[in-house]
Every structure is written in structure tokens, then in C-alpha cells.
Structure 1
Amino acid sequence: MRKQADGLLLAFSWLTVLPVRGPDDVDKLSAGRAIAFAPVVGLALGGVWAALTWASIASGLSPLLGGLLAVAAAALLTRGMHVDGLADTADGLGCYGPPERAREVMKSGSAGPFGVAAIALVLTVQAAGVGQLAEQQLWWAVALVPVIGRVSVVIACRRGTEASSPNGFGALVAGTQSTVVPALWVVAAVAMSLLARPDHPWQGPLVVAAVLTLTTVATRHCVRRFGGLSGDVLGAGIETTTALAAVGLLLGS
């Protein structure tokens, strides 16, 4: 039980700016436990999204502006790590050359044209999607989409996945998740999504399955392109999965 609690604390310490202290010594085992709790962090952020958009709309602001404020708050609460990973991954995919060249571009410290375009597109989709979900009073859907985004991280870190570098975040978390943990989170996400669209209870599970399948395929491509998994790829997966989930839950509304 203590190890699981340490894993939860480490997840919040790693993935948010909250003043939470994780274990002093972090190895691959403790890192794996933290990744297994990533969707719980997503649920906390989803609660922030729902509260902010509700308060914004109740204050007379437009749903789009409420969505923008929610997305901005999430970026602040996560230190912008996932957004940075999205930009780096887009730049890496947009360059020519072997995996070594792509990783060099990703580590350059600046966002290129592909990275800037990816940030603008994905965050705009997130903000507009969250705003429209809030406008339709689909508060559980607003809270759920960040959870789905972080289930993609658990899937990406399943066993058999190699890290792109012997150092860094990817080296700590790649291959740490057994088959059971990702499967349990997928089942949990499907169950939670039954309430995302009360008018169409089938839509949430279908969206979860489709979006996680798409992002899993995309992550595999990134792993092949970059010679392994990195923290940047995980961040890109979170942001794109979140955006796609919001769009999917809005279809037909």
C-alpha cells in the first residue's frame, strides 16, 4: 500500500506543479507505478477544466473563451511539459534523416514551424471542444477527456517498448507497464465514458476505443521513427488524444 501511495504522489509530483513530494529515490519500478496513476492526474485536471468552464460561462464569458482559459490552466498546472513534447515531436517527425537526426532536432530547445503549427492546431481544437462540451452541459465529458489522454500514456509504456535514449524520462518509464494495467485503464475509461453523452451512451465507449487505437498506432510510428520512446512522444500523445476525444464526444451533438 505504501508503494502505491508513493506512486500516486510521484505521479502528481512529475505531472503537475502541485507541491507534492514523491519518494526520494526514483527507479524504474517506482516510475512505473507513477505512470500507472497518470489517468488519476488526468481526472484531477479534468475537474479543474469543468470548474473553470462552468465559472466562465456563469460569469457571462463565451464557451470558447472558457475553453481557452481551461486549456491555459492545464498548461500552467503541468508546467507546459506536454505542450513542449507535442512541439518537439512534430518537429522531429517533420525533419529528414535517421533517428539520430530527428532526436537532435527534438533536443534543440526551440520550436520549429511544425512544432508551432501543432501547438496552435491541437490547443485550439482542445479549447473549442471543451467550450462546446461545456455549452451543452456535458460536464462529465469535459472532465473525462484529460483522463483518456493519459490512458494513452499507460498504453505507450507497456512492456516491450524500448526507450530512445538510455537517459531521461523515457528511459525510466518505457516498458514499465504490464499488459494488465493498460487493459484495466481502457476498461475503466470505457465504463466512465458511458455517462459522457447521456443521449447516446454508446458514443463514449466508441470514442475511447477509436481514439486510443489511433494514438497507439501514432505512438508506434514515433517509436520507430525516433528509435524508441521518449518523454516528448508521451506528451504529444496526451495532447493529441485529449483533442481527439473532445472532438469525438461532440460528433452528432
Structure 2
Amino acid sequence: MTSLNSDGVRFAFGTLTALPVRVSRWDRPAARAGMLCAPLAGLAVGLLAAAPGALLLLAGAGPLLAAAVSAAVPAVLTRGLHLDGLADTADGLGSGKPAEDALRIMKQSDIGPFGVITLLFVLLGQVAVLFELYGRGWAHGASGAVAAAVVARLALTLASRRGVPAARPEGLGAAVAGTVPPGAAAVLAAVVVAGCAAVGAVTGGHGALRFALAALAGLLAARLLLGHCVRRFGGVTGDVFGALEETAATAVLVALALG
């Protein structure tokens, strides 16, 4: 069990971040453990994104710089993998072509107009919301960055549950699709939402409720996109996982801005 847990952590960090972690196992049990550890990888990314933003603000920098840095760090820590997946998924969905042709478009190395537009507005939206949150204080901005990162990876755990097929026989999607038991996914989701509420409590007022609702909003947005992708492509791919991650993170931040 200890070995499997260690392999799961390695799988999560090795596939979902660019941190120097070697994936020692690539089988289904390791994939299941890895996707259950995905929110842990998100916590690491979120803390590393929040720290420089908060420090910049405390050092006298403006909230815009803090926001830009907090949005840039997750992209650096994933080598832009999730943003690339978002762009490829947008191109596939925007093409309006049958599943086989859309999947072929997604595998191409170039980026189309739908991908460019989607990346532009998603990144602009993330920076805009983080700017507003950091404008309320460093704790608001840092807490938002952490919550968004954790919920974004939880969305990947939920997308790996049993009953969600893979669109291709190879790749990350095929490796993790259907590996997570629904019961374990539900328990983990409850833990993460409760954790977000605890993080939100740091901001005072109705922060706990606001962060819990923002986490649910992020998961709902990812769930809607997942259903659409499964209908269009026949299942999930690594690109779809990237799109789900960025969608969930952005939805969490937008919900916090509205609160």
C-alpha cells in the first residue's frame, strides 16, 4: 500500500506538473492512485503560484503584477501543457467536424483560431480576477490562487472515474480513463470543497461559504465541458484533461470575483 501511494504521488506530480518527479509505474493501479492524488499536485502548484503574488503585494507592488505572476506560475510549472490542451480542445470543438476528424485536428502541432481566441480570453479572465482579488488584499489573492489550482486538479480526478471512456486507445486519457471509483471520487470532492471553505475562512466574512460555492462552480463548469467532449469525441483525451483543468480554475476564480 505504501509503495502504491508513493507511486500515485509520483504519477500525479510527474504527469500533471513539470516538477522533477520520475513516474516509476504507468499501470492502471498507479494511474488510479495518481488521479486520486491529483488535488495534492494542485495544492503544490497553487501554493507556488500564490507565494510570489502575495510577496510582491506585501513588498509594495501593485495587484496587477501580483495577478500576472500568480497566473504565469501554473503555466510554467506545467510547461503550458494544460493551456495547450485547452487550445487543442477548442480547435477540435470549434471545427464542427466528426469525432475522428476533430481528434486528428487536436493532435496537430499548430494552433488554430479557436485555440488562440480561447487562450486569450481564459488567460485574460484569470489575470483580471486575480487582479481584483489581490486588490482586496494578499490573503484574498493567494487563497483564490490556491483554491483554483486544487479544484482544477480535482476536476481531473472526477473525469477519470469509472464510466467515462477514453477517446483514443493511447495517451494520458486512455491511461487514466475509468480508473477512479465513483465513491472515492465523491469522498475526495467533499474533502476538497471543505478544504476550500477552510481556506476561504482566512479571508473573513462569508469567505468559507463563498469559496465552497466557487469550488462547486468550478466542478460544475468542468462537468458540463466533460459531458460535451464525451458526446463530441467519444471520450476523454489528454487535451480534454487540459481543457477541464483550465476551465475549472477559471470558473473558480470568476465565482470568487462575483462573491
Greater helix percent: which structure?
Answer: 2
Matching residue of 2:241:
234
Matching residue of 1:13:
14
Of the candidates 199, 217, 220, which is equivalent to residue 224 of structure 2? 217
TM (norm. structure 1) is: 0.94
Point out where structure 1 has 5 or more consecutive residues left out of the alignment. none
Matching residue of 2:157:
154
Matching residue of 2:52:
52
Q: Among the aligned pairs, what percent are the same residue?
A: 39
Matching residue of 2:84:
84
Matching residue of 1:109:
109
Provide the rounded CA distance (Å) in 2 between the counterparts of 1:28 and 1:128: 39
Query: Is residue 2:207 matched to residue 1:206?
Result: no
Contact 2:9 2:34 in 1 (8 A): yes
Provide the rounded CA distance (Å) in 2 between the counterparts of 1:96 and 1:239: 22
Structure 1 counterpart of 2:212, which letter? P
Provide the rounded CA distance (Å) in 2 between the counterparts of 1:36 and 1:191: 16
Moved more, 28-37 or 151-160: 28-37
Contact 1:134 1:142 in 2 (8 A): no
Distance apart, 1:247 and its partner CA: 1.2
Contact 1:88 1:111 in 2 (8 A): yes
SS at match of 1:202: helix
SS at match of 1:159: coil
Provide the rounded CA distance (Å) in 2 between the counterparts of 1:20 and 1:74: 16
Provide the rounded CA distance (Å) in 1 between the counterparts of 2:70 and 2:193: 24
SS at match of 1:194: helix
Consecutive aligned runs of 4 or more in structure 1 exceeding 6 Å deviation: none
Distance apart, 1:61 and its partner CA: 2.5
Distance apart, 1:124 and its partner CA: 1.4
Distance apart, 1:207 and its partner CA: 2.1
Provide the rounded CA distance (Å) in 2 between the counterparts of 1:98 and 1:212: 27
Distance apart, 1:116 and its partner CA: 0.6
Structure 2 counterpart of 1:99, which letter? A
- Provide, for residues 174-206 of structure 1, a one-character-per-residue CA deviation record: whole Å limited to 9, x for no partner: 111101222122111221122315311322222
Of the candidates 236, 243, 250, which is equivalent to residue 250 of structure 2? 243
Structure 2 counterpart of 1:51, which letter? A
Distance apart, 1:135 and its partner CA: 2.8
Contact 2:221 2:251 in 1 (8 A): no
Provide the rounded CA distance (Å) in 2 between the counterparts of 1:7 and 1:57: 35
Distance apart, 1:58 and its partner CA: 2.6
- Provide, for residues 142-172 of structure 1, a one-character-per-residue CA deviation record: whole Å limited to 9, x for no partner: 3111101111111111101111110111110
Contact 1:149 1:242 in 2 (8 A): yes
Structure 1 counterpart of 2:159, which letter? A
Structure 1 counterpart of 2:205, which letter? D
Query: Is residue 2:5 matched to residue 1:4?
Result: yes
Provide the rounded CA distance (Å) in 1 between the counterparts of 2:117 and 2:191: 33
SS at match of 1:164: coil
Provide the rounded CA distance (Å) in 1 between the counterparts of 2:82 and 2:221: 18
